[in-house]
């Protein structure tokens, strides 16, 4: 580390110049950084369930459906019907829309003079205007399973316009044009936008708005925190400049490699600003201690960087490990990307903190305090006086601290089984948001919009297969939380009923073929059957994504499929319930794998630092204590594991262990200087303890900013990481020394011996006073 320190200080101007040039280069590419709001694209494309889900979405339009819901006092009103007809007609000719289905152009199967008649529900050239005609239309529509609760709500107050967007067009741009069409028409009542294309627009807004609002806010809060802590120009602005650089570097790298920001990775700047500041704080703190004047400044700067370099490097490595763990075992690629680029950002923050920051500190004159700073730098500040007393209290109450820590940990353990898991992505959005409002309407009026699909393979015109499809549809409808099962079998049954054959599948393929001929060319067929008639889908919707209900549904469907005749037909389950189940399983696997990996790598780092196996175990105690408190808190306050809170465990290990590393590193140095352990502890708390306290406050404030994020999981994430900072910081300056005292662990040379002598000395003083 000494040679590295000498190189940095001796080439300080070059280091500053190169850093600034790299920042300009990375900054240039920021203009090309994109936002990817498509959650579906984050699913692992090599997963067989995801492949099937995407295949069905592409072939039958499920992933490209844009839903427009119109809500009025009465849909069957002449003005409303006319507006729907006008809107449907305009959407037909909109670039990127392959077809549109609404009340005014939907397929209608009814009995005519010469038999069955296939036409439109409403004649677009003769829209109903008279009250009697409208009432007859309403009565007819609500009597038909094809329309009721699928196209028109049971109370006739809400209707859907369903648009399929062509795969060759930009879904977001087409969805924006659809929204503009709606705004240009004077629709009475409320209108809502559902489906993936509209959700992508909303997600883009959320990511962009969070970046615009949260980054300036966190910079302001950290500015105030640094000002109150250092009260010097370099103590305030140097950390802010450094974290801004590391953020530019990592975002520029994402742009260069064409990696877009997502609903999760948009918090990378927040994380880097929060934790990157911590590295700078420790570097500035040690330079303030070592360099009091301009005498022999180069030597003192080299010495200061040499002292703090290894602890900062180790803390950065452990933090990066926490993020790297997400690359392995995470189901969503957006979490893998988050882990990769967060760890890269930590590396950039480390490089800047141990090169650029020391170089600037060396080039600047010895720090001059702001006016509000105490006149004498030698005079102890309030925080140092507090740390003096705090150190004495820790030594005198080590057993009490350990017992208290054990009790709190036990309380945390009891709360852990209460933790729930949530994979319902609609629940991730605030109440009142467009996505949430639309989904609540869809659940209330149409039984939900979350798709469940069954892919059927065989001769779809075979009555045996059609009957099996009908059985599957009836089974889905019988399940709790499932609605609106439909397939081509339902159309054949409807036609058979109109023909007077009853509501049943015809008994021969010839009869089915004759009925099918009447449907050829209708848009609805392309949503249900392939052109070769060898493949079809059964689709339904579910009302909510409760984890247990989804798992039960997936199991029930699989069991029912096994009971069907597989000799002439095959069924494959797909849709969001299966995807959500895989996501739920991955949340648990990812939580376990990432935490185990993080703990192992952090332990190795501690053993390397302390040169002791026992020391590594004891060094993990504060973060172990924090994790128990953290997960207990989640259980007691009903904070679920989701796509964001699943990140907390490993990040807590990576970031939280930093305090233990800095504390132990400094205490190790101080035990060599002071014969009295109390003096060593007090000096550690005055210096590193002060930096830890500033660090905890700064990072905590940084992460609490996420409470104002637009996505609920990110709000929970911010609260939990802030709790982690407090728990691990306090644990490092209380539980760690207390455990060493109680166990008499000898892992830092004379560490334990000095502490024990100090404790005996304090006991003797007490006896003399008595």
Domain CATH for 616 = 1.20.1640.10
Q: Is residue 210 part of a domain?
A: no
Q: Among 577, 600, 630, which residue terminates a domain?
A: 577
**Chain centroid offset of residue 311 CA:** 30
Same domain, 621 and 744: yes
Q: Is residue 27 part of a domain?
A: yes
Same domain, 502 and 649: no
Q: What is the pLDDT of residue 251?
A: 95
Q: What is the pLDDT of residue 412?
A: 92
Same domain, 342 and 321: yes
115-120 and 107-112 beta bridge pairing: antiparallel
Same domain, 172 and 275: no
Q: What is the pLDDT of residue 770?
A: 55
Domains in the chain: how many in total? Answer: 4
Q: Among 153, 181, 200, which residue terminates a domain?
A: 200
Q: Is residue 55 part of a domain?
A: no
Between CA 716 and CA 627 the distance in angstroms is: 15
Q: What is the pLDDT of residue 536?
A: 94
Between CA 461 and CA 660 the distance in angstroms is: 70
Comparing CA positions, the residue from 675, 673, 728, 678 lying closest to residue 700 is 728
Q: Which residues of the chain have pLDDT under 50?
A: 368-379, 745-752, 754-755
Q: What is the pLDDT of residue 752?
A: 47
Same domain, 110 and 189: yes
Q: What is the pLDDT of residue 649?
A: 80
Residue listed under structure tokens 């900054």: 27
Q: What is the pLDDT of residue 359?
A: 92
Tokens at 194, concatenated: 């559902």
Between CA 521 and CA 69 the distance in angstroms is: 26
pTM assigned to the model: 0.76
Q: What is the pLDDT of residue 63?
A: 65
- Yes or no: say if 469 and 538 are a contact pair by the CB < 8 Å rule: yes
Q: Is residue 54 part of a domain?
A: no
Largest Cα–Cα separation, the chain: 116
Q: What is the pLDDT of residue 373?
A: 38
Which is it for the CA torsion 548, 549, 550, 555, positive or negative?
positive
Same domain, 637 and 770: yes
Instruction: Return the exposure string of 358-367: e unless at least 16 CB atoms fall within 10 Å of the residue's CB, then b.
Output: bbbbbeeeeb
Q: Is residue 627 part of a domain?
A: yes
CATH number at residue 109: 3.30.70
Show the domain range for 548.
434-577
Q: Is residue 156 part of a domain?
A: yes
Same domain, 454 and 569: yes
Tokens at 223, concatenated: 């500015």
Same domain, 625 and 769: yes
Q: Is residue 594 part of a domain?
A: no
Q: What is the pLDDT of residue 575?
A: 86
* Overall residue count recorded for the chain in this entry: 770
Same domain, 488 and 561: yes
Same domain, 329 and 356: yes
Q: Is residue 206 part of a domain?
A: no
Comparing CA positions, the residue from 454, 469, 447 lying closest to residue 541 is 447
Comparing CA positions, the residue from 159, 146, 145 lying closest to residue 194 is 159
Same domain, 123 and 250: no
535-542 and 482-486 beta bridge pairing: antiparallel
Measured in degrees and rounded to the nearest 5, phi and psi for residue 117 equal: -130, 120
Same domain, 503 and 370: no
């Amino acid at each position: 580390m000494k040679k590295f320190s000498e190189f940095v200080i001796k080439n300080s101007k070059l280091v500053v110049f190169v850093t600034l040039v790299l920042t300009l280069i990375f900054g240039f590419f920021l203009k090309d950084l994109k936002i990817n709001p498509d959650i579906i694209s984050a699913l692992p494309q090599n997963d067989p369930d995801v492949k099937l889900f995407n295949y069905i979405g592409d072939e039958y339009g499920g992933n490209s459906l844009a839903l427009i819901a119109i809500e009025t006092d009465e849909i069957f009103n002449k003005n409303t019907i006319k507006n729907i007809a006008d809107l449907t007609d305009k959407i037909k000719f909109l670039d990127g829309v392959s077809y549109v289905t609404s009340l005014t152009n939907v397929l209608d199967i009814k009995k005519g003079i010469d038999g069955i008649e296939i036409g439109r529900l409403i004649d677009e050239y003769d829209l109903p205007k008279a009250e009697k005609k409208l009432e007859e239309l309403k009565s007819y529509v609500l009597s038909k399973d094809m329309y009721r609760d699928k196209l028109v709500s049971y109370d006739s107050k809400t209707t859907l316009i369903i648009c399929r967007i062509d795969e060759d067009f930009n879904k977001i741009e087409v969805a924006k044009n659809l929204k503009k069409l709606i705004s240009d028409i004077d629709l009475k009542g409320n209108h809502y936008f559902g489906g993936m294309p509209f959700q992508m627009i909303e997600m883009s807004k959320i990511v962009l708005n969070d970046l615009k609002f949260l980054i300036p806010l966190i910079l302001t809060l950290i500015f105030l925190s640094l000002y109150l802590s250092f009260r010097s120009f370099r103590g305030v602005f140097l950390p802010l400049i450094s974290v801004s650089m590391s953020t530019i570097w990592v975002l520029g790298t994402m742009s260069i490699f064409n990696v877009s920001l997502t609903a999760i990775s948009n918090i990378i700047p927040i994380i880097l600003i929060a934790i990157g500041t911590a590295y700078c704080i420790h570097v500035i703190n040690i330079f303030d201690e070592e360099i009091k004047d301009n005498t022999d400044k180069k030597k003192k700067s080299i010495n200061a960087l040499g002292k703090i370099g290894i602890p900062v490097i180790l803390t950065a490595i452990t933090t990066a490990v926490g993020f790297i763990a997400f690359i392995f075992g995470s189901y969503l690629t957006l979490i893998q990307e988050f882990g990769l680029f967060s760890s890269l950002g930590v590396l950039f923050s480390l490089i800047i903190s141990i090169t650029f920051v020391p170089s600037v500190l060396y080039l600047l004159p010895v720090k001059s305090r702001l006016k509000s700073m105490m006149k004498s730098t030698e005079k102890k500040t309030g925080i140092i006086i507090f740390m003096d007393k705090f150190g004495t209290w820790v030594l005198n109450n080590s057993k009490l601290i350990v017992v208290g820590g054990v009790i709190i940990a036990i309380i945390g353990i009891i709360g852990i089984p209460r933790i729930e898991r949530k994979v319902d992505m609609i629940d991730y959005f605030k109440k009142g948001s467009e996505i949430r409002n639309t989904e609540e309407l869809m659940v209330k009026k149409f039984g939900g919009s979350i798709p469940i699909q069954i892919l059927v393979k065989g001769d779809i015109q075979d009555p045996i297969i059609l009957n099996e499809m009908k059985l599957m549809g009836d089974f889905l409808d019988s399940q709790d939380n499932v609605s609106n099962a439909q397939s081509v079998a339902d159309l054949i049954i409807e036609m058979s009923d109109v023909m007077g054959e009853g509501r049943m599948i015809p008994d021969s393929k010839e009869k089915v073929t004759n009925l099918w001929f009447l449907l050829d060319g209708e848009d609805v067929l392309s949503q249900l059957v392939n052109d070769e008639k060898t493949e079809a889908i059964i689709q339904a919707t579910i009302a909510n994504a409760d984890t247990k209900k989804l798992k039960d549904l997936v199991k029930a469907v699989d069991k029912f499929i096994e009971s069907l005749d597989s000799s002439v037909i095959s069924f494959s389950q797909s849709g969001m319930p299966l995807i959500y189940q895989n996501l739920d399983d991955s949340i648990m696997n990812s939580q376990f794998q990432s935490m185990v990996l993080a703990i192992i790598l952090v332990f190795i780092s501690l053993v390397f630092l302390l040169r002791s196996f026992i020391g590594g175990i004891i060094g993990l105690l504060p973060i172990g204590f924090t994790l128990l408190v953290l997960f207990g808190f989640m259980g007691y306050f009903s904070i679920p594991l989701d796509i964001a809170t699943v990140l907390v465990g490993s990040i807590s290990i990576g970031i939280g262990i930093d305090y233990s590393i800095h504390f132990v590193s400094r205490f190790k140095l101080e035990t060599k200087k002071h014969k009295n352990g109390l003096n060593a502890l007090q000096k550690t708390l005055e210096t590193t303890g002060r930096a830890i306290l500033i660090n905890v406050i700064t990072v905590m404030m940084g992460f609490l900013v996420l409470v104002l994020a637009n996505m609920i999981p990110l709000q929970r994430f911010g609260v939990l990481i802030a709790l982690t900072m407090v728990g691990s910081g306090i644990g490092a300056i209380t539980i760690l020394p207390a455990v060493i005292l109680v166990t008499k662990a000898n892992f830092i040379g004379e560490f334990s011996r000095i502490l024990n002598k100090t404790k005996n000395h304090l006991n003797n003083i007490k006896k003399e006073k008595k």
